[in-house]
Each structure stands twice: as C-alpha cells, then as structure tokens.
Structure 1
C-alpha cells in the first residue's frame, strides 16, 4: 500500500513468477519519479491484470493497470491510488489494513509489522546501492575531466609571474628548491 503513489507498480520478477506472458505488456515511454530520491525510472510497459481480494464466499475482482519496472524488488507489487479508487478501498497505514465493501461483508486485507519492517530494510538497502552507484559514476566522470594530461612532461610546469625559487633547506647538499609567490605577505 502506498498512499502517495499515483501508480500501481509491478516488478518484472513478479510477472515472471506469475507466469504471465510478456506479450500482454503494451509499450509506454514515460519516466516516473519518487521510487529513489532524486532519480527517475523508465517504465518497461503497462499490463492489465485481474485482481481479486478475499475468498470465494466474499470477494471483489477488478481489472487494474500496472506499470512494469525492471529494478530489484522488495515487494511483489505496489498498490496506489488508482487501486483504491477502483475498489473504493480505504487504507489504514497505522493498522496496516486495507478495507473495502464486499458482496456479503467488509473485506479486510492485512499484513504484519514484521513483514513491513523486512520490506523497508530491503528497500533502504536498494536505495543506498542505487544512490551510491550514481554518486560513484559522477565522481568517476569528474575525476576523468580533471585528470592531468599524461602527454605533458613533468618539467613542463610554468610558473606564474611574481614567483621566485627558494632553497627548501639551505644546508642540504641536494639543493632542492620550491617556487613561491613574491606577492605573498610576510606572515
């Protein structure tokens, strides 16, 4: 259940495990945001699937459109506002329940706090990996841009105007020198 989601999301692995033919997917070229902070994701396509809540004595079935994504999953699917509207369902995030009217009585779908905790831990782990990978890629690009030109020889350093050479250690026989600016204050 995701109260803020404007999408019903299903993961590619879930579709495979259900044995649904990928030919039923219809293409869509739209990015969406909010799955990973600051990142956008591209949909693999959309699929219409029958969704049933409850059992044979008291059930509701509707066709829902799911947006397919190909990244690692922590859930089987995410039901968003389109699902709640179609089933006229009311989610309770405090009690982890989803309630809707059935033909005989109220249908209640629930989960445990432990299941939610395990999913959140996995989700945070995936988010950290994705964000870290993005940051690493950015760092690599920056380092490549700032990398020194290997074709220049080491002795090709040219000093700016207003600098002079000074012996690092006047008592040393090697006479190593350093170049310092002449416009620096005495401090």
Structure 2
C-alpha cells in the first residue's frame, strides 16, 4: 500500500511493539480506502493509517478500530475474516504459507534490529571506559582459562557399575 506524502497529516499518536521491544512516533497519518471483495460482493471503508519509518515484514496493519469499522470478525485459527457486505457475509481467507513466511521474516528482522541496538549500546559504553580497559586481553591457553568453582566441590560416581559416569557436587553438603 503506497502513500502520497501530500496527504499525510501530523500525528502524535505513538505506538509500541510493532517491532518487538521498540516504540515509534509516526511520520503522520493518512486516510485510505480499503476494500475487501469477491467477484460478486465487496465492502469498502476509509481507514486511518499511522505512517512510520521502520523496517517490518508488514506493509499495513489493520487493528481493532479498522475491524470495528468493517464490523469484521477475525478467526486467527483458520486465518479467516468475516464481515457483513451488501450481498451477505463476506469471507476473506488468508494463506497459511504466506502468513508463516511473513511472521518468520518479522522475527528475523526484529532479531537483527535487537542485535543492532545491542551493538550501539556496547559501542556507547566503550566510549565511557578508560583507554586501558578498552583493550581486548590476549588469548590465554585453554588450561589457564578453565572455570574454577567458587566453592569446594567433589566428584561422585552416579552408578557403581559405571564409574566413568560422575557428577560434580558441593564438597560441604549436609548429608541429610
């Protein structure tokens, strides 16, 4: 769905979690005609859209106000939308493969955006560190970089007939 920048009107209606974990202030609002139809039956309503500048796999999202305007009833299980129309009930069917592909793309995109945000936070934090703490330590040999438990531990055999199967437990546990 395209939009003509000349029909945008200012909007201060912020919204959240279209892209998980982020909010956005729209560039503006535009009113567009939306039509659901079959060859013999159709329904058109004018719907307000908030226009935002961020990446998502969706081109337009019809929320509760739009569904109410159409008096539409969604069934998410069957990817089906039903609404009254001039010649009876209009049923609009979605496509499972397309829905899945769109959702998978949106998850991938939000993961990419989250990693990008984290990189920016790390870079910002690094600017505030003293120069001597910004150096990456030289790679140590594996014997020197072994984890050492904070408390005393001991190894116990799990099965008497299989002494190679062991577990590490705290050395000063109460026997009860």
Tell me if TM exceeds 0.5: yes
Q: Partner residue of 1:109?
A: 92
Out of 13, 20, 29, which is 1:46 matched to?
A: 29
Partner of 2:131: 148
Higher relative contact order (CA 8 A, sep 6+): 1
For residues 5 and 19 of structure 2, what CA distance do their matches in structure 1 show?
25
Instruction: Report the secondary structure of 2:125's partner residue.
Output: helix
Root-mean-square deviation (CA), in Å?
1.7
The residue aligned with 2:53 is 70
Unmatched segments (≥5 aa) in structure 2: 134-176
Q: Does 1:121 align with 2:77?
A: no
With structure 2 as the length reference, what TM-score do the two structures score? 0.70
- Deviation digits for residues 119-141 of structure 1, max 9, x if unmatched? 01110111011111111111111
Provide the C-alpha distance between the structure 2 equivalents of 1:108 and 1:47, rounded to a whole number of angstroms.
26
- Structure whose CA Rg is larger: 1
| Count of paired positions | 133
Aligned with residue 65 of structure 2, among 64, 71, 82? 82
Cα distance in 2 for partners of 1:41, 1:66 equals: 14
The runs of 4+ residues in structure 1 deviating greater than 3 Å are none
Mapping of residues 51-62 of structure 1, within 5 Å: 51-55=34-38, 57-62=40-45
Residue 38 of structure 1 deviates from its aligned partner by: 2.5
C-alpha distance in 2 between matches for 1:73 and 1:36? 7
- What are the ranges of 5 or more consecutive residues in structure 1 without an aligned counterpart? 1-13, 151-187
